[in-house]
Amino acid sequence: MKFFKKSEDTEQAAKIEDLGRMIDAAGMPPDVKKIAEQELETLSRISPSSAEYTIGITYIDYLVGMPWNKKTEDNLDISRAEKILNKEHYGLHKIKERILEHLSVKVLRAARKPHILVVDDEEIARKNLTHILAKENYEVATASNGEEALKELGSSEFDVVITDLKMPGIDGMEILEKIKTKNPDTKVIMITGYATVPSAVEAMQKGAFNYISKPFKLDEVRTTMKNALEKKMQMRSARGSVLCFAGPPGTGKTSMGRAIATALGRKFVRISLGGMKDEAEIRGHRRTYVGAKPGRIIEEIRRVESANPVIMLDEIDKIGQDFKGDPASALLEVLDPEQNHSFVDHYLDVPFDLSSVMFIVTANVIHNIPSPLRDRMEVIEFSGYTQEEKTRIAMQFLIPKQIKEKGLYEHQPSFTEEAVYKIIQEYTHEAGIRNLERKIASICRKIARELVQHGKGLEPVEITPKAVERYLGRRKYHFEVIEEGNRVGVTTSLVLTEAGGDIIFVEAVKMKGKKGLILTGSMGDVMRESAQTALSYIRSNAGSLGIPEDFFEHYDIHIHIPAGSIQKDGPSAGLAIVTALVSLMTGQPAIRGIAMTGEITLTGRILPVGGIKEKILAARRARVKAIIIPAKNSMDLEELSDDIKMDIDVHPVDNINEAIDLVISK
């Protein structure tokens, strides 16, 4: 039924023909191609002025633009990769090593010859198959019955087992069942005689990959084997390919991801999960209305025109409760090698194979990642930098980069080391180097402007500490710990936040009342419980702590954690809370210059906490000279390099009393 005008008719016919050619050229898998052709066929029968037509055309346009079989070829030269990682990053030795190991495993996997086991009780069949398969350059082993096959399967790993269905004793079906429970990744091809086709179908339902019938047709054996291996390889190359870079902002996670892509010769894509509110941003909208869109993953793959880019999913720990839909399961479909070879985006509506994408996810804190996701990742931890590392990174990388970006080639400013140190100390407060880079950029911009506007700087500018003040204004950060004196009821605590380690002050005051406890400030639930525990411990040990018996009858206690930009939680402030309370109740000042971390128990023990390295870095940023940590964390210290522990006194303690002795000045 045609109801449009002649000119529209020919225009439509031409468009449809065009799309038909594009479908042919797109390299789609057969089932996708079929769907695209059906869709096109439907379109040829509806009016080009209808909304469906527009939606349909846009859709097919989109489908043919996907890189169905376009991939970049991997460069697996590990020495070259090492050079690239080194060229762009200072330090990070352990991280670079882990990454190179990860890439090396990829190389080895890519180089391994496929291993195949042929099981048949007929000698002639075994010989024929071995002959065909060995010619394809596969590593072939044989077994003449079920028992032998199981023995082989127990001693080495096979990619594909090709087995006769009907054998005396242990038959093909039983072998299949054993493989499916023990080596579920191994693909099984059944060999059937004429009479056993129905059982072969049953075998497929039980998880066999396919079947071939006797007498063998050469081509059939070859293609079936090739398909089975392809499926197997997809899973193998994908397994464990999800790297997770965890650490504070500005520690080089993104730029390391980019360097990996450069090293492999792959396209690089970065998708931030942080601001996402809706599952459709991952999985796409159904194409029922004009303007429906695919999810970000499919969109980015289409944009970079490659089916195997490195995709960095940023801030996976930030997708949270207010998310519409089920983000964890959507991401699982994307990241899980068992599922992602046929990822269905709602808009695309046909499966797209994501198994050759290399996914790297980033997170600030690992324990915020849903555990089904975390289980599938290889976590590599990035940590904050020391002042000395920051200075060196700035001198060697950030400053040359900014000079280049701001076009200051001719009149390159030279930064003195003291100036860089001043920026780090007085204008930034961070574990990473994001703000440091911003400050350097800001100075370079100002120099560029002076140069252009006033013709100044014809003499190259030297950036000294004084110049820093001129360009950046007054210092932004002060050292609250060392610049203020000891006080009653105030202690210094080391905590771990999403932005790395940090220093907070616990303040406690008393006022007339009756046994009340008021908690305010940026405290999460766990920290509130620590405060309760601290108070109960003190009340039950009041006598030995030198606190008057009737103290609690006459006073309310108020504990406050001054709010920072980031909510703080976790049990590790327990030790600072309990010492602040003891200081308050005994009226003796607490030493401000000792920062502490530790979880407390009702019986006064101190339990280990996480993030020791980040906390020590935070202490050093605040110029704290002494810290108290749980004795059980002493092991973490041993793993740290000397320049991190340099000029800081670490006191490991086992119980609250030891800490009180150190902190309360008598």
So which residues are the catalytic ones?
Answer: 572, 615
Q: Binding marks (x or -) toward ligand ADP, 462..501, rule CB under 6 A? A: ----------------------------------------
User: What is the distance between the alpha carbons of residues 43 and 38, in angstroms, rounded to a whole number?
Assistant: 9
Of these, 434, 605, 625, 632, which contacts ligand ADP (CB under 6 A)? 434
Q: Which stretch binds ligand ADP (CB under 6 A): 247-255, 414-422, 460-468, 587-595?
A: 247-255
- Which residue among 251, 391, 428, 492 contacts ligand ADP (CB under 6 A)? 251
Does an H or E element contain 392, and which? helix 387-393
Provide the minimum distance between the beta carbon of 504 and ligand ADP in the complex, in angstroms, as a whole number. 23
For ligand ADP, which is the closer residue by CB, 250 or 630? 250
Nearer Cβ to ligand ADP (339/442): 442
Closest approach of ligand ADP to the CB of residue 276, in Å? 18
Q: CA 264 to CA 157: how far, in whole Å?
A: 28
Residue 15 in the binding site for ligand ADP (CB under 6 A): no
Three-state secondary structure call for residue 202: helix
Q: 142 vs 254, which CB is nearer to ligand ADP?
A: 254
* Residues binding ligand ADP: number (CB under 6 A): 17
Instruction: Name the DSSP letter for residue 6.
Output: H
Cα separation, 405 vs 445, whole angstroms: 10
| Contact present, 294 and 61 (Cβ < 8 Å) | no
Smallest gap, in angstroms, from Cβ of residue 245 to ligand ADP?
Answer: 7
- Tell me how far apart the alpha carbons of residues 313 and 360 are, in angstroms, rounded to a whole number: 6
The closest alpha carbon to 195, from 176, 168, 213, 181, belongs to 213
Task: Locate the DSSP E strands across 356-461.
Answer: 358-363, 378-381, 414-415
Q: Does 91 bind ligand ADP (CB under 6 A)?
A: yes
Q: Give dist(CA 361, CA 312) in Å, integer.
A: 5
Q: Which position among 67, 146, 172, 250 is part of the footprint of ligand ADP (CB under 6 A)?
A: 250
Please, are residues 119 and 127 in contact by the beta-carbon 8 Å criterion? no
State which residue, 164 or 437, has the beta carbon closest to ligand ADP. 437
Query: Which of 364, 572 has the CB closer to ligand ADP?
Result: 364
Q: Which of 506, 651, 496, 511 is nearest to 580 (CA)?
A: 506
Stretch in the footprint of ligand ADP (CB under 6 A) among 209-217, 220-228, 231-239, 433-441: 433-441
- Shortest distance, CB of residue 409 to ligand ADP, whole angstroms? 19
**Token pair of 492 as six digits:** 């210094």
Which residue, 251 or 492, has its beta carbon nearer to ligand ADP?
251
Judged by CB under 6 A, which stretch of 86-94, 175-183, 194-202, 299-307 contacts ligand ADP?
Answer: 86-94
Point out which span in 83-91, 135-143, 158-166, 654-662 binds ligand ADP (CB under 6 A).
83-91
N-to-C CA span, the chain? 98
Q: What 3-state class would DSSP assign to 362?
A: strand
d(CA 487, CA 480): 13
Among the residue ranges 54-62, 87-95, 449-457, 637-645, the one whose residues contact ligand ADP (CB under 6 A): 87-95
Q: Contact with ligand ADP (CB under 6 A): which of 307, 433, 496, 585?
A: 433
Q: Which is nearer to ligand ADP, 434 or 445 (CB)?
A: 434
CA distance 359 to 387: 32
Residue number, 246 or 581, with CB nearest to ligand ADP: 246
Return the C-alpha torsion angle 198, 201, 205, 208, nearest 10: 130
Residue closer to ligand ADP by CB (options 92, 141) is 92
Instruction: State yes or no: residue 272 binds ligand ADP (CB under 6 A).
Output: no
- 92 binds ligand ADP per the rule CB under 6 A: yes
Amino acid identity, position 307: A
How many secondary structure helices (H) and strands (E) does the chain include?
29, 23
Q: In whole angstroms, give the CA distance from residue 260 to residue 82.
A: 10
Instruction: Compose the 389-418 pattern: x for residues touching ligand ADP by CB under 6 A, - for all others.
Output: ----x---x---------------------
Q: SS3 of 499, please?
A: coil
What is the smallest separation between the CB atom of 440 and ligand ADP, expressed in angstroms? 10
Stretch that binds ligand ADP, among 102-110, 152-160, 244-252, 473-481 (CB under 6 A): 244-252
Give, in order, the Cα–Cα distances in Å from 315 to each of 8, 320, 374, 521.
49, 11, 13, 26
**Helices 574-586 and 656-663: crossing angle, nearest 10°?**
60
Please give the residue whose beta carbon sits closest to ligand ADP in the complex: 252
Query: Among residues 32 and 393, whose Cβ is nearest to ligand ADP?
Result: 393
Question: Interior CA angle at 427 toward 425 and 431, to 5°?
Answer: 65
Which range, of 56-64, 246-254, 347-355, 534-542, touches ligand ADP by CB under 6 A?
Answer: 246-254
x-or-dash pattern for ligand ADP, window 597-636, by CB under 6 A? ----------------------------------------
| Residue placing its CB nearer to ligand ADP in the complex, 179 or 361 | 361
| Residue from the set 62, 90, 216, 479 that interacts with ligand ADP by CB under 6 A | 90
Handedness of CA 654, 657, 663, 666 (dihedral sign): negative
Q: At closest approach, how far in Å is the CB of 503 from ligand ADP?
A: 21
Tell me the C-alpha to C-alpha distance, in Å, between residue 515 and each of 381, 529, 550: 44, 16, 10
Q: Is 96 in the site for ligand ADP (CB under 6 A)?
A: no
Q: Which stretch binds ligand ADP (CB under 6 A): 126-134, 188-196, 426-434, 628-636?
A: 426-434
| Choices 90-98, 141-149, 408-416, 499-507; region in contact with ligand ADP by CB under 6 A | 90-98
For ligand ADP, the binding residue among 253, 266, 341, 374 (CB under 6 A) is: 253
Q: Cβ distance 161 to 127 under 8 Å?
A: no
Closer residue to ligand ADP, CB minimum distance, 500 or 604? 500
Min dist CB 385 to ligand ADP, Å, is 7
Alpha carbon 230 to its chain centroid, in Å, reads 27
What's the min distance (Å) between Cβ of 381 and ligand ADP? 12
Q: What is the C-alpha separation between 437 and 393, in angstroms, rounded? A: 10
Burial class (CB in 10 A: 0-12, 13-18, 19+), 27: middle
Contact between 438 and ligand ADP per CB under 6 A: no
Sole residue written with tokens 């008719």: 9
Beta bridge partners of 568: 523
Nearest 5°: CA angle at 361, between 640 and 359? 125
| Sequence letter at residue 437 | E
The CA distance from 174 to 178, in Å, is 6
For the bound state, the minimum distance from the C-beta of residue 617 to ligand ADP, rounded and expressed in Å, comes to: 14
Q: Where do contacts with ligand ADP occur on this chain (CB under 6 A)?
A: 89-92, 249-255, 393, 397, 432-434, 437
